[in-house]
Structure 1
């Protein structure tokens, strides 16, 4: 049993708490916001049946969660500290500086940041910046297995590998990035699709529901199994990617996409807000979250049968 400290208990922080607890570990939490502990425990009670369905450790119990009144108390004995404070460079640096000064020297300090590079975040750490990494998850953290791990200029790779093993043991799929970049990998790809989606809605080409359908019933199905590169490799037939690039490569010069984001005017904002509101109807967000979680469990069970991790080489599948 390891001890994990979670600093910041918003949507992502609470997701980490659920993931750590479900795998039988102790969690020390800290969040100065009023009512933070109550909100966390309410969420955990709500999703615990889902986690039990997905599969929890024999040692898993909500009793392993302890909230502390100070950050220093929360991190001092932790093996890994997962930081989840708001996406502001000054705030993150300030918190990470406190963590670096308060925790044991060999503890891993991992930021869940969706945008900042680890080289930027570790600048504020005066004691052991070499153990600062980015470990960026995806919502809901307690179910989605991907965590992008990146090191900065001062990072000792041994800490990345140590973190990789810890996340792997919690039924996650750690992606060890070769380098570092703002937004990492997954968020940059999602951002590109999001920007194009906003242009399509802004130009009156489609509604938010039509955009969602275009992904859900089309490329989303293929991406869930193979990702963009392998999907296009198959589009090339027997010759694979080589033929695909010869056939469709010239289309890259056509003005199909407008990756610069459109101005988020009041009119565009209202289109998006009204559109998604109509899609939800009278169904509460909590019910939609439960539906999402049930679907994810079924989908991951199916992917497990097919080798589960689409970006890995297909050796494991062939061995079957």
Structure 2
């Protein structure tokens, strides 16, 4: 399995697939996109055009060009040229199982098939692959993939260690931050961490401790600012002062554990949902979803540039 990866086939050109296409083009790779939706090509072109200035700000690789994109509505035509497949199809197990069964039949055995699935496990997805299930792996991005570096890599019961190593090396070589998951879990890891935080936020809001708006402020103007620089365990090293993480574990972990034991289970009622909706609407200040997303991306781009400048990459 030493195939050089130069041509990427992206199956499904919704938001995630289109963002992957833009990312791979910016890295100087050839991209063949395939989707059966009648407006897929026009939507993909519009997405890449809108994303390209951000990619230019991040820095284009030699040979990067939107002209290296080709599109076909016939999937097998696309697969014929694949060095790696980034699958971004619907999150339906029956659909993915049939799709992977077919790809397993028509692709050479050294072509990696990576799924962007956020909820399904590769063990289930690869279940009907009869020839080479060992080359199937989860390569789950954080949205939008063309900006956020994180990729969660996790195999299935039949995935080989070689495939996982190749996928990790491939994403890392393109500037991604791949993390290896040694066990498959619903939602993988990053979404579970988000869910854990939001669980406590909803509990506090539901208990009348603070408003929706102030809960968001507590996150984004407190620990959230630090999380944009380094992870929580490294933050605790700073929290330990001169003694670092050793001091933290010895003297501060017990008090933290005491707080952990008081974390609550939210009762997610219709009234709580309405409160959250009202709280979010109050923070929008008339901005649309697209406008808010664009503002977020601009801030993230600036933060990534600063991280690189400070060697925190």
8 Å contact kept, 1:71–1:99 = no
Q: CA deviation at 1:88?
A: 2.7
Q: CA deviation at 1:51?
A: 1.3
TM-score by length of 2: 0.90
User: Which residue is equivalent to 2:194?
Assistant: 190
User: Which residue is equivalent to 2:263?
Assistant: 257
CA distance in 2 between partners of 1:128 and 1:289 (Å): 39
CA distance in 2 between partners of 1:273 and 1:124 (Å): 42
- Alpha-carbon spacing, 1:57–1:118, altered in 2? closer, same or farther (3 Å): same
Residue 81 (structure 2) aligned to one of 77, 83, 91: 77
8 Å contact kept, 1:77–1:104 = no
Aligned to 2:57, the other structure's residue is in SS state helix
User: Which residue is equivalent to 1:174?
Assistant: 178
Q: CA deviation at 1:97?
A: 2.0
CA distance in 2 between partners of 1:296 and 1:76 (Å): 37
Q: CA deviation at 1:193?
A: 1.0
User: Which residue is equivalent to 1:112?
Assistant: 116
Any stretches of 5+ residues in structure 1 without a counterpart? 310-320
* Structure 1 position 244 matched with structure 2 position 244: no
CA distance in 1 between partners of 2:156 and 2:6 (Å): 25
Aligned residue pairs: how many? 307
Q: Which deviations, in whole Å up to 9, do the C-alpha atoms of 1:182-210 show, x marking residues without a partner?
A: 32221211111122222233333333321
User: Which residue is equivalent to 1:130?
Assistant: 134
8 Å contact kept, 2:135–2:163 = yes
- Alpha-carbon spacing, 1:53–1:86, altered in 2? closer, same or farther (3 Å): same
8 Å contact kept, 1:4–1:79 = yes
- Alpha-carbon spacing, 1:92–1:194, altered in 2? closer, same or farther (3 Å): farther
User: Which residue is equivalent to 1:301?
Assistant: 305
8 Å contact kept, 2:97–2:125 = yes
* Structure 1 position 42 matched with structure 2 position 43: no
- Alpha-carbon spacing, 1:94–1:207, altered in 2? closer, same or farther (3 Å): farther
TM-score by length of 1: 0.88
* Backbone CA RMSD of aligned residues: 2.0
Q: CA deviation at 1:128?
A: 0.8
CA distance in 2 between partners of 1:306 and 1:185 (Å): 27
Q: CA deviation at 1:240?
A: 2.9
User: Which residue is equivalent to 1:312?
Assistant: none
Any stretches of 5+ residues in structure 2 without a counterpart? none
User: Which residue is equivalent to 1:60?
Assistant: 64
8 Å contact kept, 2:33–2:78 = yes
Aligned to 1:273, the other structure's residue is in SS state helix
- Alpha-carbon spacing, 1:46–1:247, altered in 2? closer, same or farther (3 Å): closer
8 Å contact kept, 1:113–1:134 = yes
CA distance in 1 between partners of 2:252 and 2:173 (Å): 43
Q: CA deviation at 1:134?
A: 0.8
CA distance in 1 between partners of 2:312 and 2:12 (Å): 31
CA distance in 2 between partners of 1:102 and 1:205 (Å): 57
Q: CA deviation at 1:16?
A: 0.5
- Alpha-carbon spacing, 1:221–1:68, altered in 2? closer, same or farther (3 Å): same
Aligned to 2:228, the other structure's residue is in SS state helix
Residue 217 (structure 2) aligned to one of 213, 217, 220: 213
